Amino acid sequence: MTILRTIDPSIAVAPQIDPDAIAELKAAGFSHIVNNRPDGEDFGQPSGDEIAAAAAAAGMQYSAIPVTHAGFSHPQIDAMAAVLAEADGAVLAYCRSGTRSCNLWALAAVKAGANPDTVMAKAAAAGYDLTGLRPLLDALSTPQ
Determine the pLDDT at residue 102: 98
- Quote the Cα angle for 8-94-35, to 5°: 120
Can you tell me the mean pLDDT for 65-79? 92
Q: State yes or no: pLDDT of 69 exceeds 90.
A: no
pLDDT-derived band of residue 44, with 50, 70 and 90 as boundaries? confident
Map residue 98 onto helix, strand or coil.
coil
**CA gyration radius for the chain?**
14
pLDDT greater than 60 at residue 10: yes
How confident is the model over 13-22, as a mean pLDDT?
95
Work out the percent of the chain whose per-residue pLDDT is above 90: 88
In this prediction, residue 120 carries a pLDDT of 97
- pLDDT tens, residue by residue, 26-38: 999 999 999 999 9
